[in-house]
Chains A and B, each alone.
Chain A
């Protein structure tokens, strides 16, 4: 278990080479991939998220941690595909139409993946219909939308409306985020959840699903 705490520390420190090395060593020592994720990667990302939320970490630290975690997950990927690891829930995520900003959304997607969610990332500048189609096809439990511009925030409301029209609204929790977003605005457009920053996104999604 001590190696996994070192792995968690390497994620916290954004040390990609160390994270990959410790993941390979843990696998070599016969540790279950799910334990590596839970006690190594998720634990590390949880620390990073907390540090970002309390102002100790800044965006470059988040990006470094996400980079390290992605590399460690790549090591585990072939095994995970073989064993079919159960996921917490399915998430469809994207930055809304007219908005090219994707850093915040990418960080959240990485956090959610690291926390055990199955994430389908639609990218940035995503048309309303693509969200609807993806939620339908994927049978998503959560739809996450990001906007960094005040001009594109209203598009989130349009997507929620389109979900209602497609009869999908009751099947999916809608969560929103982005620098100009506020809890008031999230309530105004009828979203189920809002996280002020990426560090709080995964706990908020778990809470919404009661998991």
Chain B
């Protein structure tokens, strides 16, 4: 532990640094670096000898690859869920768990209407749920005294993309909006149960992706379908919750800040300065670094510049904007940490 800078404050553990940033608390010596979605990449997998699909299906492999985010990259958080398909698999969709070059894919969409929704009584014991809970418990025991452990649970909107199919579900917003609302309501208990189980297993916070993404969902639809559903759901989740939505979302940040989230994980295509302005201190902001132009195609210096821009904009915790490309170089991920270590 060192002192100096910022009035001689001592440096904090990664866990305290991140949690303070997440909850809009006091700033330490420097900003935290977090990965609320996924930092799995081939270079990291090769380095520690853990690969896909095992890292999606085996708790020990999952925990080892996740911990590399702290051990190898120096991030302040550990996130063991690398896919977005765990709930879909538990709800009866067939999933191809992929390989090192391919993220998992949902292959079947069994739901046409709300009467088709089946929520198994043993939802949390289904293999794709259990693996996450076990990985979080392992990580809590091993790293919980110093690193923030994050969980991840899909929101009802994303679950509908998987169980209904993206195209059919988006068409349904125009053809049968009541059906859409009924489906969202039906899946709230799934999201709540899985989120709370992860918190009980040892997650410090959960990321909740609900992909009402820029071009796919208008701000009007966001206000009509997502806001009431999120407001109903959030009071039932017992720990800090981070919303993740990809794409251009500046237009809906004013809505997001009313929903009850602690934080919003956002993309670089929303100017971080404007995002901070729109969040008005009502929620913290995480992420902000471009996965494509920065982390995948850029140089460490490009990433460093983006990271500094985010710090200067007032983003609370910096990191990749979304699950990183599997071909992302480790050197670019470490450049985020280097930029954070510069201090505020």
Contact = CB atoms under 8 A, between A and B. Distances in A.
A58 B216 contact: yes
Nearest to A97: B102
B174 interface: yes
Contact of A59 (B103, B216, B291, B296): B216
Contacts of A106: 167
A36 B105 CA distance: 40
A149 interface: yes
Nearest to B323: A150
Nearest to B175: A64
Contact of B102 (A58, A63, A98): A98
B49 interface: no
A185 B171 CA distance: 31
User: Which of B101, B215, B218, B297 has the most A CB atoms < 10 Å from its CB?
Assistant: B215
Nearest to A149: B103
A59 B170 contact: yes
B173 interface: yes
A60 B215 contact: no
A60 B327 contact: no
Contacts of A18: none
Interface string A135-147: 0000000000000
A83 interface: no
A180 interface: yes
B217 A150 contact: no
B327 A197 contact: no
Given A100-B105, A149-B103, A151-B103, A58 B218 contact: yes
Contacts of B221: 58, 60
A184 B178 CA distance: 43
B325 interface: yes
Interface residues of B, number: 23
B123 interface: no
A209 interface: no
Contact of B171 (A52, A58, A63, A184): A63
Interface string B210-234: 0000011110010000000000000
A166 interface: no
Contacts of A58: 215-218, 221
A97 B234 CA distance: 39
A14 interface: yes
B193 interface: no
B292 interface: yes
Interface string A55-94: 0001111011001000000000000000000000000000
Contacts, number: 57
Contact of B292 (A14, A103, A150): A150
Interface in A163-211: 180, 182, 184-185, 197
A103 B166 contact: yes
A105 B38 CA distance: 26
Contact of B327 (A14, A61, A98, A150): A150
B292 A180 contact: yes
B293 interface: yes
B167 A63 contact: yes
B171 A60 contact: yes
A106 B326 CA distance: 26
A197 B215 CA distance: 10
B241 to A, nearest CB: 26
Contacts of A197: 215
B215 A151 contact: no
Given A60-B173, A151-B101, 10 more contacts: A58-B221, A59-B170, A59-B215, A60-B170, A60-B174, A103-B167, A150-B291, A182-B293, A185-B292, A185-B297
27 contacts: A52-B215, A58-B215, A58-B217, A58-B221, A59-B215, A59-B217, A60-B171, A60-B173, A60-B216, A60-B221, A63-B167, A63-B174, A64-B174, A100-B105, A106-B167, A149-B103, A150-B296, A150-B325, A150-B326, A150-B327, A151-B101, A151-B103, A151-B326, A154-B327, A182-B292, A184-B293, A185-B292
Q: Which 8 A-B pairs have the closest CB atoms?
A: A150-B325, A58-B218, A60-B170, A59-B216, A151-B326, A100-B105, A103-B167, A60-B173
Interface of A: 14, 52, 58-61, 63-64, 67, 98, 100, 103, 106, 149-151, 154, 180, 182, 184-185, 197
